Chains A and B, each alone.
Chain A
């Protein structure tokens, strides 16, 4: 197995739209990495560590790059974050580790922690894919089922495998990786790179990945389903890493029909479906003000689809998307229309013609002053539904008022003593790195509990 090589992505076909988009931060050469690593001053009790949700020992791994101990650097990273490779490429470092780097206070550019992290993991794992597998503990005979093959479950399964357990992952889709494979902006990480990392995780130990298998609350209705009850019965513990559900819709007239897509659905097509085409699209409109909205807007702009307009209901300052990402979007040529709310989709017969937007004053849309923006594509990025009802199929598991699975912060254990949960279904939608941390915390507790009980 040679992970981290282009074109070895398994079920991914060639010709995907995302491959037309270039890498924003390419892999450092050895010299570039050494030069950047040498800038890090090797702080003690470093603030960057504190700001990393997985608590990677950043100064240590960076120093190891500087001393030409790249494998050691990768070990340091992966010990705390098995998905350190994709995190290095996709983490919003500006608001995480690099945002806390002491250099910011000096008015000097922060250390490129994400890029160094990518360099260390990619370089070391390409040379020695079995870097961590060698450290695996002897088999324990314990079996853990994981629901969903997103970052949360993958991280959890990897740590469990290293602890000597058997992990079985049930994924309803044909392509594993969750949003890490299907959702991350292509200029950060492409699907085949995410798949290569999955190969690395699966190689850590006794991990079985069952794709095309949905876990269901009641009785399974066919081949591709398995019941939550049976997992509890047949496994020593269960980890639930469901993620979020499908894109939400606006509920305005004309929304049903061609040309109007949910943003995550559209991104998934761009990233994985070689048949999918955006031929002829010239005036796309994106609805929303979060990171998914910014991502799809930038992707459409980078694909060269004419002028991309973002429509957001609040003021620019109130957007939940990161300011640094919005700045990047502007540079890509994205136009932001703030304080506007879509009130209808306009069509010529079935054909999409435009979107009618009304100004928002004091929080309410003034439909009387609506105007129509001509467009040939609408991407809706106004949030994702919850899938967490499934979690309730496990006795004792509870949800909060916003539909998030309730867990103990330190262990990710739910109200059921053998059921754990993590990732977007617990935090309502954050980053890959948060999912990886949940997976790790759960695996640690599972190992501790199973060791104590045997």
Chain B
């Protein structure tokens, strides 16, 4: 069985699964139960100067009958006395010496940082995480994402922390910034041995149209909050990938929408050594970690990885800039007539949303023209739908290969597993990228290559 333990800038974690700094790590009792359930580490709810929270605090986005595809919150850092937090952290660490305990911190002045680092490290915690990401409430006081989105300030404060910290320092980055590599660069330049990302994304979850108040409502008003949960995973993966391919990058803890083992494996492949989870636990509880451990372990065994650490960063080299993609790669859609149920979703998607190259058998060219087709295949084979569950009398749509641009929209909308596949039809044997074209002075401009040539010629 693969070794699930990982080394995160010198800290050994029994597995890569950590709880993110958030309500699930509010109290010692919660963290204890989480460790019992199998979580490898926990980043305690951010400590700082006393605050007061509002009520309500959360808003959710549902999709297709499923709840909490995305979660928005306007909660601040811990609202419990710092002494209580520190005492419970000390107790937890004493009882769970093998689990990773990280103190998340957010204060303002140099003296405050110095003081809180001393007190946090005094609990025996394994590392510190600097919360430079909270996008609401705290940033208006010059903390959280106000720091995270100003690389200079971030560098300076990280520098203060590095002066005093004796445990590894993880800088938690905010996604609310144009180029994530700038704060990442600043954190590394200040000597931080690790970064984590992402914190929540600035958001307004919706508007109550009866009261004309955005949600969540606090009295008769609302404010912008931070978005997280499954919906943010693609954004988090992108920002993670951006940081992971920086030269000499430090270890990364990946956060944002991780809900199951597969999400975790994807984050690790794109450069995260550990992952942190908040929303999925808020939705379903600590129990989800059993599936994460089992699923990752089976996956590693299947693929022949000896350890979780070996997975880290495997997909990073394949994450490239657009200009480095092979323009000779071409794929066309292929419909399996034995699986098609005849819903014609691929047809309308291609007709209205792509390149009008899927045809329904039995239509005359006039009918096709009226529907919006511009190119007509010589012959459209008429195949009746025969799959179990198929609509009686329906016909299997036909892909006009010469016209198919290989966008794969039809594959994405087809409701039947494996019914539409993309078949590779290379345009040429050699790899040919836009960067190659540019190198040859043949880069594209709107209005075709000829237009480009003419423009250059002038």
Footprint of B on A, CB under 8 Å? 26, 29-32, 38-39, 42, 44, 60, 63-64, 67-69, 71-72, 75
Contact = CB atoms under 8 A, between A and B. Distances in A.
Quick one: which of A44, A71, A72 has the most chain B CB within 10 A?
A72
A72 B295 contact: yes
B295 A63 contact: no
Contact of A69 (B284, B298, B415): B298
B285 A44 contact: yes
Interface string B52-91: 0000000000000110000000000000000000000000
14 contacts: A30-B417, A31-B415, A31-B417, A32-B417, A60-B287, A60-B291, A67-B259, A67-B295, A68-B295, A69-B260, A69-B294, A69-B295, A72-B294, A72-B295
Contacts of A71: 298
Interface string B413-435: 00111000000000000000000
B262 A68 contact: yes
Contacts of A44: 285
Interface string B257-292: 001111000000000000000000000110110110
Closest 5 pairs (CB-CB, A-B):
A31-B417, A67-B260, A69-B295, A72-B294, A29-B417
Contacts of B415: 31
B324 to A, nearest CB: 30
Contacts of B290: 60
B101 to A, nearest CB: 27
Given A38-B66, A72-B298, A67 B417 contact: no
Given A30-B417, A31-B417, A69 B285 contact: no
Interface residues of B, number: 19
Nearest to B297: A72
A226 to B, nearest CB: 42
Contacts of A67: 259-262, 291, 295
Nearest to A28: B417
Nearest to A42: B284
Nearest to B285: A44
A60 B292 CA distance: 12
Contacts of A64: 291, 294-295
A305 to B, nearest CB: 26
Contact of A75 (B284, B285, B287, B294): B294
B417 A72 contact: no
A68 B299 CA distance: 11
A29 B387 CA distance: 13
Given A42-B284, A67-B262, 13 more contacts: A31-B417, A32-B417, A38-B66, A60-B291, A63-B284, A64-B291, A64-B295, A67-B291, A68-B295, A69-B260, A72-B294, A72-B295, A72-B298
B422 to A, nearest CB: 17
A72 B66 contact: no
A71 B259 CA distance: 18
A63 B285 CA distance: 13
B233 to A, nearest CB: 14
B108 to A, nearest CB: 41
Contacts of B261: 67, 69
A362 to B, nearest CB: 50
A72 B291 contact: yes
Contacts of A32: 417
Interface in B325-339: none
A63 B291 contact: yes
A69 B299 CA distance: 9
Nearest to B292: A67
Contacts of B259: 67
A69 B417 contact: no
Interface in B394-442: 415-417
Contacts of B262: 67-68
A334 B287 CA distance: 48
Nearest to A71: B298
Contacts of A42: 284
Given A30-B417, A31-B416, A63 B66 contact: no
B279 to A, nearest CB: 14
Contacts of A63: 284, 288, 291
B66 A69 contact: no
Most buried by B among A31, A38, A64, A67: A67
Contacts of B298: 69, 71-72
B291 A69 contact: yes
Contacts of B388: 26
